[in-house]
Amino acid sequence: MRMPLRWLAEYTDLAPGTSGADVAAALVSVGIEEEDLHGGDITGPLVVGRVLELEEQVQKNGKPIRYCVVDVGENGQMLTEGKHQEIVCGAQNFEVGDLVVVVLPGATLPGGFQISARKTYGRVSNGMICAEDEIGLGHDHDGIIVLTRLLGEEASADLKPGDDAIALLGLGEETIEANVTPDRGYCFSVRGLAREYWHSQGSPEGGFRDPALVETPASNDLGYTVRVEDDSPIDGVAGCDRYVARIIRGIDPTRPSPAWMQQRLTQMGMRPISLAVDVTNYVMLAVGQPLHAFDVDKLSGSIVVRRARPGETLTTLDDVERTLSPEDLLITDGGEHLLAIAGVMGGASSEVDASTTSVLVEAAHFDSTSIARTSRRHKLVTEASKRFERGVDPALAATAAQLAVDLLVEHGGGTVDDGVTDLDRTTEPPAYLLDVTEPSRIVGLDYSRERVVKILRDLGCTVDESGQGTDETHVLVTPPSWRPDLVNDSPGPDYAEEVARIDGYNNIPSVTPTPVEGQGLTHGQKTRRVVADALAGAGFTEVLTYPFVAESLADELMLPADDDRRHAVRVANPLSEERPLLRTSVIASLVDALRRNVSRGHKDVALFELGLVFRPGGPLGRAPIPSVLQRPDADTLEQLYAAVPDQPRRAGLLATGLVERAGWWGPGRAADWSDAVAAVRTVATALAVDVVVANDPGHAPWHPGRCARLTLPDGTLVGHAGELHPKVLAALDLPPRTVAAEFDVDVLVSASAEPVQARPFSTFPPALTDIALLVRSDVAAADVEAALCAGAGEALESVVLFDVYEGERVEAGHRSLAYRLTFRAADRTLTTEEVNGFRDAAVAAAATATGAVQR
């Protein structure tokens, strides 16, 4: 919502010299946030120009550029060189003869942008033809301003090249743009913002001049017939509880709206259109009541407000044919001919136009929920819908209609009908018995009863200190008609906010809360940090990827048809249609980051990510949406939780290129399957969790011969690690031999939950013995090692595989595994005979289990 300072000064006192920044700061102090400041920061020359010639040339980059000659009156090059202004312009939306806004060298535009003659696209441009956003008039940058379009033909008729455009467009005056929160619909008006500014100045007596304080005639039987026939109110709330209609006849349709009004509308970011439309907009901006002007001559019956019927359509003012929903509230002519979507947008057929002489001004009050739903349904946000959605002051309708009538009569020369229609079913908001100590209790700052009452009265509340229920600490408060946000079943906190806001939020003290006790981080939270830190310590860099993946990814990852990872959640409104699914594994999205790094020239990349994956296991269920009036019952809660699909926390890692660098010390070492397995083992070791590794020949997306399956000793799956399948790498455009691991962090969290029990260790000397075992090549080293451990007995301290040999010195299809066994007894030094016995037992066990033969 915008507000020019001079308009603000009409409704409240503005000390001389008050700047836009001062007003913005004052408004912030009462909770109205500044969005932007416009105007006041342009220094001329900024003038009206008429395009005399234009020559368009398409540039090498394909962009058409116009070399223009513009008449800017007795300014610029006319003064210095005796010729018209030569300007280079990139916009296309104007023709020879158009009136435009020209900024000349020497001027400064908003943001301190200084204009000088400069060479561009091969020629000197002596200034610039301006777009709206360049001079702070709006946010439009689709083309330059053509004044006949911006101000209308009539208003532009008297303009001459060289006229000062700063004054013309009201750019010399500062305009504040405030960000209005959804609870403060009344601030969508200069009236509302002026009231807030007045509060920021301490609400001085007589300092606010309410523009809505005008006499209005009473409703009578002579007015235009209006019927409200809402047969399906939403949640029992009538769609329309007030409808004021006034008629002015004999308006001169050629009369433009006055220049001051056009200027204000322009400052507010709206386009002047015609007197009738400008007046309705102006009054809306002034007091916050959206108005609609119908051409009386296009109406044939009474106005009927009703809900749409299934299948009805209406072409709105924006020339879009809209299929209506039975929830949409309509304004109709006689119930049949559709005039407007109530409170949102008028229809094209009843629009006032250049021949309109009789106008019906509608000032109505519509239900905010109804308007909000309609606006959302039709994706149609208008100045009217914005206000109705946030709540319009229901007491304003007659006043706003009167303000519009007065302006139309004054500037259009018509006469107002004696008939006054005011269908008023609004009710006074109920009084609330407020505990005056409640604001202090909620805010944590003592406000006296007097202070609370004064603030509430300044806000427009009626405060009854003697009615039923009142005592030393209780008063009856009735909020003003423009504050529907203060009407709810427990407005205490709302009043507390008002008191704190007007008193000043910055007066609230700062008191550090003191929780009684905390348990610190949970085991799971600590474990996750260990996992991430261990991976980072092992050379992997953490990244955070978007979980959105393509439908084709499951195939690219070669997931089998029945793989659970094919059950992905689908986003109904994805940012990109190409990536509508949520990842079911971390690797699925981590590959994107790897590819990006590689494309940026990083050859050696090791990445990891720790995050949730989405595993619905099938189609999504339906989560209940219970009432919020109380805690859902246990069953409903259980359904609510159960409907949320499984989201295990997993870690994924990828590595390509060298894991050990080449350098002066020699060649580097490329990442291979073992690095992926080692990374998972490193994590498990950091958590003191034992993992068992087995060859897994059939787990996508890994290489069938280079994939490790990692489990807990009890068989619980931890994850997989190894080299990715070459076809997967090719399909995903990843470097050959890229390795990967993915594991379930939650499993590791559970596996490490119990405190580690210390194992005693012996201080007697160890006995070492080496063995070489010949095994078939398809025997897993892990199986051999397990057999050795099982056979060696309790004195075995460690088994280290220190050599693997496959080649001509061993039988074909076999390999030799060389182990160092370390034995140590808890209570004595072992004898050679004992050690040899253990060793032979170990070898025998390996022989039995794996067919190993000692070499």
**Which residues within the stretch 552-571 sit at the binding site for other proteins (CB under 8 A)?**
569-571
> Which residues are CB-contacts of 776 (< 8 A; sequence separation ≥ 6)?
813, 814, 851
User: Least CB distance from residue 612 to other proteins, whole Å?
Assistant: 5
Interaction of residue 661 with other proteins, rule CB under 8 A: yes
Sequence letter at residue 762 = S
Interaction of residue 487 with other proteins, rule CB under 8 A: no
User: Least CB distance from residue 31 to other proteins, whole Å?
Assistant: 3
Interaction of residue 748 with other proteins, rule CB under 8 A: no
- The DSSP 8-state label assigned to residue 506 in this structure reads G
Question: Is the Cβ of residue 426 or residue 647 nearer to other proteins in the bound state?
Answer: 647
| Lookup: tokens for 52 | 């005399």
Interaction of residue 807 with other proteins, rule CB under 8 A: no
User: Least CB distance from residue 243 to other proteins, whole Å?
Assistant: 22
Left, alpha or beta for 616 (phi > 0: left; psi -120 to 50: alpha)?
Answer: alpha
Question: Is the Cβ of residue 334 or residue 626 nearer to other proteins in the bound state?
Answer: 626
Interaction of residue 466 with other proteins, rule CB under 8 A: no
Alpha-carbon Rg of the chain, whole angstroms? 39
Question: Is the Cβ of residue 99 or residue 115 nearer to other proteins in the bound state?
Answer: 115
Among 218, 511, 758, 812, the residue binding other proteins under the rule CB under 8 A is: 511
CA 470 to centroid of chain Cα atoms = 45
Interaction of residue 497 with other proteins, rule CB under 8 A: yes
Among 310, 518, 617, 760, the residue binding other proteins under the rule CB under 8 A is: 518
Distance between CA 594 and CA 826 in Å, rounded? 50
User: Least CB distance from residue 556 to other proteins, whole Å?
Assistant: 19
Interaction of residue 753 with other proteins, rule CB under 8 A: no
Among 233, 419, 539, 793, the residue binding other proteins under the rule CB under 8 A is: 539
As a three-state string, the secondary structure of 212-271 is CCCCCCCCCCCCCCEEEECCCCECCECCEEEEEEEEEECCCCCCCCCHHHHHHHHHCCCC
> Which residues in 109-138 contact other proteins (CB under 8 A)?
110-113
Interaction of residue 494 with other proteins, rule CB under 8 A: yes
User: Least CB distance from residue 12 to other proteins, whole Å?
Assistant: 19
> Which residues in 360-379 contact other proteins (CB under 8 A)?
369, 372-373, 376
- The DSSP 8-state label assigned to residue 134 in this structure reads G
Interaction of residue 573 with other proteins, rule CB under 8 A: yes
Cβ(359)–Cβ(408) below 8 Å: yes
User: Least CB distance from residue 682 to other proteins, whole Å?
Assistant: 11
> Which residues in 174-233 contact other proteins (CB under 8 A)?
181-184
Among 157, 318, 428, 546, the residue binding other proteins under the rule CB under 8 A is: 546
Quick one: which of 527, 541, 540, 543 has its CA closest to 686?
A: 527
State the angle between helix axes of 275-287 and 383-390 in degrees (0 to 180), rounded to the nearest 10.
Answer: 30
Among 63, 118, 309, 529, the residue binding other proteins under the rule CB under 8 A is: 529
State the angle between helix axes of 259-267 and 275-287 in degrees (0 to 180), rounded to the nearest 10.
Answer: 60
Among 425, 441, 457, 828, the residue binding other proteins under the rule CB under 8 A is: 441
Part in contact with other proteins (CB under 8 A); list of ranges 215-223, 285-293, 459-467, 541-549: 541-549
- For residue 593, report the phi and psi dihedrals to the nearest 5 degrees: -65, -40
Q: Under DSSP, is residue 846 helix (H, G, I), strand (E, B) or coil? A: helix
Distance between CA 680 and CA 371 in Å, rounded? 57
Part in contact with other proteins (CB under 8 A); list of ranges 254-262, 301-309, 492-500, 798-806: 492-500
- Over the window 588 to 627, marking each residue x when it contacts other proteins by CB under 8 A and - when it does not, the resulting string is ----xx--xx--x-x-xxxxx--xx-x----xxxxxxxx-
Interaction of residue 236 with other proteins, rule CB under 8 A: no
Distance between CA 107 and CA 166 in Å, rounded? 11
Question: Is the Cβ of residue 532 or residue 707 nearer to other proteins in the bound state?
Answer: 532
> Which residues are CB-contacts of 561 (< 8 A; sequence separation ≥ 6)?
none
- The DSSP 8-state label assigned to residue 602 in this structure reads -
Interaction of residue 430 with other proteins, rule CB under 8 A: no
Cβ(86)–Cβ(67) below 8 Å: yes
User: Least CB distance from residue 45 to other proteins, whole Å?
Assistant: 20
> Which residues in 15-34 contact other proteins (CB under 8 A)?
21, 24, 28-31, 33-34
- Over the window 378 to 417, marking each residue x when it contacts other proteins by CB under 8 A and - when it does not, the resulting string is -----------xx---------------------------
User: Least CB distance from residue 801 to other proteins, whole Å?
Assistant: 22
Among 70, 431, 582, 767, the residue binding other proteins under the rule CB under 8 A is: 582
Among 61, 355, 427, 506, the residue binding other proteins under the rule CB under 8 A is: 506
User: Which ranges in 288-390 belong to alpha helices (H)?
Assistant: 368-377, 383-390
Distance between CA 193 and CA 30 in Å, rounded? 10
The residue assigned the tokens 């001329």 is 44
Among 202, 574, 697, 736, the residue binding other proteins under the rule CB under 8 A is: 574
Interaction of residue 452 with other proteins, rule CB under 8 A: no
Please name the helix (run of DSSP H) or strand (run of DSSP E) that holds residue 397, with its range, or none.
Answer: helix 397-412
Interaction of residue 812 with other proteins, rule CB under 8 A: no
Cβ(190)–Cβ(285) below 8 Å: yes
Question: Is the Cβ of residue 309 or residue 570 nearer to other proteins in the bound state?
Answer: 570
Question: Is the Cβ of residue 116 or residue 181 nearer to other proteins in the bound state?
Answer: 181
Interaction of residue 670 with other proteins, rule CB under 8 A: no
| Maximum CA extent, the chain | 125
> Which residues in 63-102 contact other proteins (CB under 8 A)?
none
> Which residues are CB-contacts of 241 (< 8 A; sequence separation ≥ 6)?
365, 367, 394, 424, 425, 426
Distance between CA 606 and CA 164 in Å, rounded? 64
User: Least CB distance from residue 404 to other proteins, whole Å?
Assistant: 27
Please name the helix (run of DSSP H) or strand (run of DSSP E) that holds residue 155, with its range, or none.
Answer: helix 153-156
Interaction of residue 535 with other proteins, rule CB under 8 A: yes
User: Least CB distance from residue 165 to other proteins, whole Å?
Assistant: 21
Cβ(185)–Cβ(394) below 8 Å: no
Among 14, 23, 37, 165, the residue binding other proteins under the rule CB under 8 A is: 37
CA atoms within 13 A on the CB side of 475: 21
Cβ(297)–Cβ(314) below 8 Å: no
